[in-house]
């Protein structure tokens, strides 16, 4: 697997990071803040932020930002991490596809959509540095990180509805087989080229990531991959 592909897959496994912006108040200083995000189908992080937030004021002053995402908190030096250099651009928060996708991952944000001072910003990656582990690291261009537009973007909602309505038992089997999580209930919340995400409910809710063996681009390929995974659970 190429380093770029590994970095893309890693990015889709994350959902929050440290957003660094250029301080408008204190010239020359970077300003870091915690930022939950949802990736669009091109693999670009989308954040929902208020106009009164410090990082929003900074972006208005200088749209060049950095986003650090990492895995695990036990040994940050040993675990994978990805630094994205990007340009933040305001995005229509009423875009139905992105709005629905964002709220499936972060349903607690629904109240913010009715507030005029909250806006989507998409971080368009210009450069990325991925550290997979000791001695395995490198820079990659933003155009290499960006995924092409596939039919899956339009078909995502119908796939999710079908899986949650007709194949809930498979979702439970995926949780047990691939993550050893014995969930009481589970629902798919997103599907993309590299895999899909499930919210599994035990005593608490947790998000689980499932990777496809090979990337998919449409509903038929998604069906083939999901059926294969269901068969693996039974064997």
pLDDT digits (tens, 9 = 90+) for 187-206: 999 999 999 999 999 989 99
pLDDT grade for 117, boundaries at 50, 70 and 90:
confident
Share of the chain above pLDDT 70, in %: 97
CA 155 to chain centre: 18
**Phi and psi angles of residue 38, each rounded to the nearest 5 degrees, phi first:** -130, 135
β partners of residue 67: 19, 84
pLDDT tens for each residue of 130-142: 998 777 899 999 9
Mean pLDDT (whole number) for 86-110 = 90
Half-sphere exposure of residue 211, counting CA atoms within 13 Å on the CB side?
11
Mean pLDDT (whole number) for 91-117 = 86
Quick one: 48 exposed, middle or buried, by C-beta within 10 A (0-12, 13-18, 19+)? buried
pLDDT grade for 73, boundaries at 50, 70 and 90:
low
Average pLDDT of the chain is 93
What is the Cα–Cα distance from 145 to 44, expressed in whole angstroms? 9
pLDDT at 74: 62
Q: Kindly tell me if the per-residue pLDDT of 180 is higher than 70.
A: yes
Among the listed residues 161, 232, 165, 159, the one whose alpha carbon sits nearest the alpha carbon of residue 193 = 159
**How far is CA 218 from each of CA 10, 133, 149, 158, rounded to the nearest angstrom?**
21, 32, 10, 12
- Under a CB-based contact definition with an 8 Å cutoff, are residues 153 and 159 in contact? no
Half-sphere exposure of residue 48, counting CA atoms within 13 Å on the CB side?
25
What is the Cα–Cα distance from 101 to 109, expressed in whole angstroms? 12
Q: Kindly tell me if the per-residue pLDDT of 78 is higher than 60.
A: no
Mean pLDDT (whole number) for 17-22 = 97
pLDDT at 94: 73
Mean pLDDT (whole number) for 92-104 = 87
Mean pLDDT (whole number) for 100-123 = 89
More confident residue, 62 or 78: 62
What is the Cα–Cα distance from 235 to 216, expressed in whole angstroms? 23
Q: Kindly tell me if the per-residue pLDDT of 72 is higher than 70.
A: no
- Under a CB-based contact definition with an 8 Å cutoff, are residues 68 and 16 in contact? no
pLDDT grade for 36, boundaries at 50, 70 and 90:
very high
pTM of the model: 0.92
Mean pLDDT (whole number) for 175-197 = 97
Minimum mean pLDDT range among 1-15, 88-102, 158-172: 88-102
């Amino acid at each position: 697997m190429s380093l770029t592909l590994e970095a893309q897959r890693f990015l889709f496994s994350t959902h929050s990071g440290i957003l660094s912006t250029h301080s408008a108040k204190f010239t020359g200083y970077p300003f870091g803040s915690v930022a939950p995000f949802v990736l669009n189908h091109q693999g670009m992080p989308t954040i929902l932020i208020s106009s009164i937030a410090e990082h929003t004021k900074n972006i208005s002053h200088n749209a060049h930002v950095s986003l650090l995402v990492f895995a695990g908190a036990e040994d940050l030096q040993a675990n994978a991490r990805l630094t994205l250099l990007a340009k933040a651009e305001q995005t229509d928060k009423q875009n139905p596809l992105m709005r629905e996708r964002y709220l499936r991952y972060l349903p607690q944000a629904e109240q913010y959509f009715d507030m005029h001072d909250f806006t989507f910003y998409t971080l368009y990656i210009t450069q990325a540095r991925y550290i997979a582990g000791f001695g395995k690291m490198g820079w990659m261009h933003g155009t290499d990180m960006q995924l092409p537009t596939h039919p899956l973007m339009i078909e995502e909602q119908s796939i999710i509805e079908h899986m949650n309505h007709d194949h809930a038992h498979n979702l439970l089997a995926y949780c047990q087989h691939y993550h050893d999580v014995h969930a009481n209930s589970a629902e798919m919340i997103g599907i993309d080229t590299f895999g899909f995400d499930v919210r599994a409910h035990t005593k608490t809710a947790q998000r689980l990531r499932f990777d496809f063996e090979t990337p998919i681009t449409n509903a038929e390929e998604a069906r083939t991959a999901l059926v294969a995974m269901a068969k693996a659970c039974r064997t």
